Structure 1
Amino acid sequence: MNIPILTKIFKARDKPSDYYSGSNYTFLFGGTTSGKIVNEFTAMQTTAVYSCVRILSEALASLPLNVYRYSQGGKERVYDHPLYHILHDEPNSEMTSFVFRETLMSHLLIWGNAYAQIIRDGAGRVVALYPLLPNKMEVGRDKNGEIFYIYSRNSDENPNFKDYGTVILRKQDVLHIPGLGFDGLVGYSPIAMAKNAVGMTLACEEYGASFFANGANPGGVLEHPGVLKDPKKVRDSWNEVYRGTNNAHKVAVLEEGMKYQQIGIPPEEAQFLETRKFQINEIARLYRIPPHMVGDLEKSSFSNIEQQSLEFVKYTLDPWVIRWEQALQRSLLLPREKTEYFIKLNVDGLLRGDYQSRMNGYSIARQNGWLSANDIREMEDMNPIPDEEGGNLYLINGNMTKLKDAGAFANTANAPDTQIQQKGSDA
């Protein structure tokens, strides 16, 4: 029934020439087939959504974030660049780098977009970053085709805005990290797109809570052989004594030949627990989170849980990392800096195996000459060995040689004997 409306909206967005009204996609939130109202706030009341958002937000916020310069030998970390302190330590005077990234990542996972106001100095260099709420942001395009941002301020979340109302921001004053979308400019909210799955999760939780609130017993009827003068009084009297978890398992006393007839379906017969478990996996599937990370260890064991954790980094976290890196470089680096510097989130720490596996890998790398002792110590967060003590030496085993040189040592060693034999034969 809603297909024509959605088709009209999507067609209006196919030509991004004028205005992106409602870029927070409020029209996709709301009622669901389960009867529950789903929005960004009710969704976070489910443990599955909250866990997935928290896992991804904290994982990305905990990664080392640094500014690098391209060098002839590869790359080098730049500590004196103005962006280094902002990204690595304090984006603004009120937040740490972890809190800032955690906040923006949660916006991205709930609303599908993350915004931050960029404060620049007179030379155009970034001096601070302040988060902006996605549900108050709209994206517009002027007559020259330039994108601008419209922020509706009705609260005090940003200290740089003095007045309430509409604030117009230029493209260069906004860090925008879009999620998956159909136009490449504005992302869609995962919660809005999967609101029926989230709504069913809410309905399951409400059913479970109601089940226990009513004494952990399904509904039923009281049968009386005669005619009751005041049925409401009998019902209220029954509920007062037997309803609620505190009154569960009490012995019921029935008078005047009354009988209790159960009419509800027991939860085990309705597979209530299986339904709740499936809905948790459904939300985990939405965010591509391995089930063991949200508490479902049924398919996990000591032999595969490490591999599942590595898959989480490669297939779940890494795409978000690339999305963040490219958005930061596009918005924060000056045009003349983009060919010289780049911004990187380091996931190497999450890809490391257990201690024995790391040591075996380091040993192979050290013996084959592509890691020095200091390279290994840096990855293990240890202080380097002084250069005069050989900390930066690259070593290889002496029993390896090039294929074309195979047998050269033997020929050289036998050369004198061959000459002696030749002289003896001449004599």
Structure 2
Amino acid sequence: MGIFTGLFKSRDKPSDSTVGSGYRFLMGGTTSGKSVTERSAMQMTAVHSCVRILSEAVASLPLHLYKQTETSKEKAIDHPLYLLLHDEPNPEMTSFVFRETLMTHLLLWGNAYAQIIRNGKGEVIGLYPLMPNRMGVDRDKNGALYYIYTVTTGDAMKGNQVKLHSSEVLHIPGLGFDGLVGYSPIAMAKNAIGMAIACEEYGAKFFANGAAPSGVLEHPGTLKDPVRIRESWQQTFGGSSNSHKVAVLEEGMKYTPISISPEQAQFLETRKFQINEIARIFRVPPHMVGDLEKSSFSNIEQQSLEFVKYTLDPWVLRIEQSMIRSLLTKEEKKKYFIKFNVDGLLRGDYQSRMNGYATGRQNGWMSANDIRELENLDRIPKSEGGDLYLINGNMLPLKDAGAYANKTTKGEEENKNEEVLEVEESNSDKSKDTGGSAGENPVPKWHNR
């Protein structure tokens, strides 16, 4: 243990956590000249859309605590943690709002924190989300992790801090370099988001200036007050409400535009690309943020299934394992586990589901009640065969192929004897008619003549 203690002591503390300004070296200024923070990024429609899609998708999934039995699993409804995760983590919010908040923190700050409230028995009785930008992560002299949270009133920092033990914090880290704290996707992609903000601001100013390119007012002589003329021009023709007005120039003045048009600058193409760039950061299909250019009826369902498999599943698994690690005791981990149900999102269209159910029913691995539960229908009573598993009678194991050809039942043996007796009687009658004995070939009548 001394070796491991020394190892923990020698490791650098996770200084890249989200405490105060320790994270700000990744935020702030960008090459586009626009400052990017978590809050300013959410003013971008593409960022807001991606964060909302992912957070609402995770929050809408059913979350259950299961107990592992000898043969299967069952919902641990009697466990006090079940109600917290499924319905109400604290008296102030529902499970949906709680998980939506944690997922939003993960997408913007790269970390999600929640304070764990326990009773005298050590049971979890409450979960309260904590703001990631007020949380710090550090190690004590023994190498154990602890958390420092800055208490605030509204937006004003009080300055007093609360030290929390690692057992008192549910910490869900995002993608990071040390496995302890995650890095903000917004901070890591700040240049792409900053460029999108710059493009949006350019478009807004373009229309604010009357949707006309800027230029130069040329005068053949010397002006005594050029500032007054510029301001008069801006007041008369500036702004979208003054666009397309007819300008009257006096004293030989001439207007020469010097800016290129938005089409020449590929303004619209740049904005569209930046939307796809932001969707790529969060791994959200473009059609889910309103870009249907490369989507069709034939591939949009497949893109939705890939969204669940490659986008939601990693986030869901990250949350599940963090909850199991922090909320269950060592003994409970042996028989309990926490699981999101994503089956509803993986369901195909009605015809595809019915074909799949028919295959499962005919091959004996689904009963009528199994199918009805997946379709949210009432169960058929067991006495009426709702739990029966059926299989086609003409299907046999390969090793039994041809076995029935060598087996005869008692009834089949009696039928066979009766058939033989009938054949013998038939041959006897034929022998009498032809004058021969049974078993001899009868002589044709024309031969006797």
**TM-score between both structures, scaled by the size of structure 1:** 0.91
C-alpha separation between the residues in 2 aligned to 1:421 and 1:405?
Answer: 29
Match of 2:14 among 20, 24, 35: 20
C-alpha separation between the residues in 2 aligned to 1:418 and 1:221?
Answer: 117
% identical equivalent positions: 69
Partner of 1:65: 63
Partner of 1:56: 54
Match of 1:242 among 220, 237, 256: 237
Partner of 1:8: none
C-alpha separation between the residues in 2 aligned to 1:237 and 1:354?
Answer: 63
Shift of 1:186: 0.6
Shift of 1:388: 0.8
Query: Pairwise mapping of residues 162-181 of structure 1 onto structure 2 (< 5 A)?
Result: 165-181=160-176
Match of 2:323 among 328, 336, 351: 328
Q: Is the 8 A contact 1:29 1:38 kept in 2?
A: yes
C-alpha separation between the residues in 2 aligned to 1:417 and 1:407?
Answer: 19
Q: Which runs of 5+ in 1 are unaligned?
A: 1-13, 158-162
- Alignment-mate amino acid for residue 45 of structure 1: Q
Shift of 1:405: 2.1
Query: Pairwise mapping of residues 370-409 of structure 1 onto structure 2 (< 5 A)?
Result: 370-409=365-404
Match of 1:204 among 199, 207, 211: 199
Partner of 1:341: 336
Q: Is the 8 A contact 2:27 2:36 kept in 1?
A: yes
Query: Pairwise mapping of residues 15-414 of structure 1 onto structure 2 (< 5 A)?
Result: 17=11, 19-24=13-18, 25-155=23-153, 165-412=160-407
- Alignment-mate amino acid for residue 133 of structure 2: N
After superposition, the Cα gap between the structure-2 partners of 1:164 and 1:34, relative to the gap in structure 1 and judged at 3 Å, is closer
Query: Pairwise mapping of residues 409-420 of structure 1 onto structure 2 (< 5 A)?
Result: 409-412=404-407, 417=416
Q: Is the 8 A contact 1:61 1:101 kept in 2?
A: yes
Q: Is the 8 A contact 2:14 2:180 kept in 1?
A: no
After superposition, the Cα gap between the structure-2 partners of 1:129 and 1:140, relative to the gap in structure 1 and judged at 3 Å, is same
Partner deviation per Cα, 1:230-258 (whole Å, 9 max, x = no partner): 21121111111111111111111112221
Q: How many residues align?
A: 407
Tell me the SS of whatever aligns to 2:331: helix
Partner deviation per Cα, 1:297-329 (whole Å, 9 max, x = no partner): 111000000000000000000000000100000
C-alpha separation between the residues in 1 aligned to 2:87 and 2:358?
Answer: 34
**TM-score between both structures, scaled by the size of structure 2:** 0.87
After superposition, the Cα gap between the structure-2 partners of 1:16 and 1:154, relative to the gap in structure 1 and judged at 3 Å, is farther
Partner deviation per Cα, 1:70-118 (whole Å, 9 max, x = no partner): 1122211111110110000000000000000000100000100000000
Partner deviation per Cα, 1:324-360 (whole Å, 9 max, x = no partner): 1000000001111000100000100000011111111
- Alignment-mate amino acid for residue 288 of structure 2: M
- Alignment-mate amino acid for residue 91 of structure 1: P
Shift of 1:420: 7.8
- Alignment-mate amino acid for residue 147 of structure 2: Y
Q: Is the 8 A contact 2:210 2:241 kept in 1?
A: yes
Q: Is the 8 A contact 2:9 2:142 kept in 1?
A: no
Q: Is the 8 A contact 1:18 1:142 kept in 2?
A: no
Shift of 1:20: 2.8
C-alpha separation between the residues in 1 aligned to 2:265 and 2:10?
Answer: 48
Q: Is the 8 A contact 2:9 2:143 kept in 1?
A: no
Partner deviation per Cα, 1:94-149 (whole Å, 9 max, x = no partner): 00000000001000001000000000011111000000000111111111111100
Q: Is the 8 A contact 2:366 2:389 kept in 1?
A: yes
What RMSD over aligned residues (CA atoms) do the two structures have, in Å? 2.1
C-alpha separation between the residues in 1 aligned to 2:226 and 2:10?
Answer: 64
* Structure number with bigger Rg: 2
After superposition, the Cα gap between the structure-2 partners of 1:164 and 1:378, relative to the gap in structure 1 and judged at 3 Å, is farther
C-alpha separation between the residues in 2 aligned to 1:78 and 1:385?
Answer: 24
C-alpha separation between the residues in 2 aligned to 1:146 and 1:378?
Answer: 47
Partner deviation per Cα, 1:336-389 (whole Å, 9 max, x = no partner): 100010000010000001111111111111111111111111111122111111
Tell me the SS of whatever aligns to 2:369: helix
Tell me the SS of whatever aligns to 2:344: helix
Shift of 1:418: 9.4
